[in-house]
Every structure is written in structure tokens, then in C-alpha cells.
Amino acid sequence: MSNYENLVFKIPVEGADYPQCSEFITTTVDAIIEEAIERGRNKIIINTNLKLGLPMENINKIAGPFVEAWAVQTFSLLVDDANNCYRLINVEAKERLYMADIILQFKREAGSRTVVSAEVDVKATAEDIESSGKSPNITSFVRIRTAYVEDADYLFLILSLKHRVYCKKNGQSGLMDGVMEVVGHKAYDLKFISSRDMNYNPALGNGQMQIRDIHYVSVENRTTWEFCQLLDRKYLGSSKRSYRSWLALARKYGWIKYD
């Protein structure tokens, strides 16, 4: 790391109110999902023409996109009410290859920023599968490292949604409906996830950042620059990566200053 320490970095400096904005959005997102669960708006009904119902042994392979779509709908229905108590003012579902699944925009009553945006990556996990939620890929190392250099106040939220799936007989058709029910949730600001809970996976291009276990995450406060350094340490700590490969990325994506 000696050569690394001697580089001239582009050091991102976030606003003084970033921790307050982060807490506001994470707690608000959790509150929105909790209300949906408490009010019974947490079920996805899949009508089929199958007498024996859905193939439960493989259902979790398709449950993820359904749960993600449910999250988009939950936020979208809320934003339709201009006077919603959560002050959610805009929801945008993103295309498949984008970094996040949803962009949320909230209005704040206090602080220097009256409008705060967050990009949300929805992670669906199965309640009845022990390994579900272990080491999921979150986002590309290069994309997330670059995002924080370009915008020191960038807020990337991970929304973990735990679900269970079962079949229920349809009283009208006599056939079996599939039911996907969201039963648990937790929102995290990626920047504040503890170092021990974050891994680097060298597979897939320039690698992916992972969460060790999305159900058991601890957080630690840090600056944007400290988070960029953490990402670099995770990359450089991989036996399949080198300082030379990191330097090539740093030059290509503008993380450092050089002649």
C-alpha cells in the first residue's frame, strides 16, 4: 500500500448534514415498509391454472423480481398522495442494468437540503432458506467507487426484504394461488456498513461488493473519503487483484490526479 499512500487522490467531501439525511431516509424507508406490512398490503397474489399450485421447491428463483416490483409499487402508491406523511415526492423505477432498482426523493423540513434523493437496491431473501441473504452481490466495485467521487453526498440504500411463499386455494376458481408475503425488512446506508460485514467478490468484470449476511449487519459512521479507502482496501486485499490493476482503474475513472 506504500505506493497507494503516495498518490494524489480526488478526495470527496460530503455536506455536514449527510448523517442526518442518511438517518432520515433509512428510517423513513423502514417506516413505509413497516406500515405496508402492518396494514396487510404485503402480499403478492399469483393466479395460476395449476391445480397443485406453484412448484415450491423452485419458487425462490423467481420470487426476487416479484418482491422488487412490490417495493416499487408500495412507494409509487404512496407518492400518488401529495400530502403523504412521509414527504415522499418522487419514485423512479430503474432499468435492469442500472446500479439500483429505485430512486426515491424526499422533502425535508429541516437542514440545508430541502430535497434528498437516495438510490435503493432491493434485496429479496427467503425466510425458509438458511443460506438466503448470505454474500449477495450488491453493486459493482468500479461503479460505486466512482459514484462517491463524482458526488460526495451520494446516498446508496440497501433495502433487505424477507419474504415467505405459500399456496392458497382460490375460492372462485378452485385452483391454487401462489402468495408471496413480505414479512421482514431493514434498510441500510451502504456507506455506513461495517468493514467486517463487507466483502469484495472478484468475479464479474472488475468485481462486486458483497454483504456477508444481509440479515445481520452492523454499522459504523465514516466519511465518504473513508468509505472510498475501505473499498480500495477490499479490492487490494483480494488475491486475484493487484495494485497495478487498481491503478489502471483509478486512472481510467478519475479517482486520482496525475500528469
Q: What is the pLDDT of residues 21-35, one digit of tens each?
A: 999 999 999 999 999
- Between residues 62 and 182, the one the model is more confident about: 182
Assign 56 a pLDDT band (cuts: 50, 70, 90). Answer: confident
Residue 1 has pLDDT above 60, yes or no: no
Q: In the numeric block, which cell numbers belong to residue 87? A: 414527504
Q: Domain residue spans in the chain?
A: 16-253
Q: Supply angle C-alpha 7, 200, 223, rounded to 5.
A: 55
Cα–Cα distance for residue pair 213/129, rounded to 1 Å: 13
Average pLDDT of the chain is: 91
Matching residue, cell 473499498 = 231
CA of residue 151 relative to chain centroid, distance: 18
**Residues 69-90 pLDDT 10s:** 999 999 999 999 888 999 999 9
Over residues 157-168, the pLDDT tens digits come to: 999 999 988 888
3-state secondary structure of 149: helix
- pLDDT for position 63: 82
| Comparison of pLDDT for 251 and 62, the residue scoring more | 251
What is the reported pLDDT for 112? 66
175 pLDDT band (50/70/90 cuts)? confident
pLDDT per residue over 117-151, tens digit each? 999 999 988 877 766 768 788 999 999 999 999 99
| 91-100: pLDDT as tens digits | 999 988 888 9
Residue 46's SS3 state is strand
Q: How many whole angstroms separate alpha carbon 256 and alpha carbon 193?
A: 24
Per-residue pLDDT at 111: 63
Inter-axis angle of helices 141-150 and 224-236, to 10 degrees?
Answer: 160
What pLDDT score does 87 carry?
94
Indicate the CATH number for domain 16-253: 3.40.600
Pseudo-torsion of CA 244, 193, 164, 47, nearest 10°? -70
- Segment holding 66, helix H or strand E: helix 60-79
The pTM of this model reads 0.90
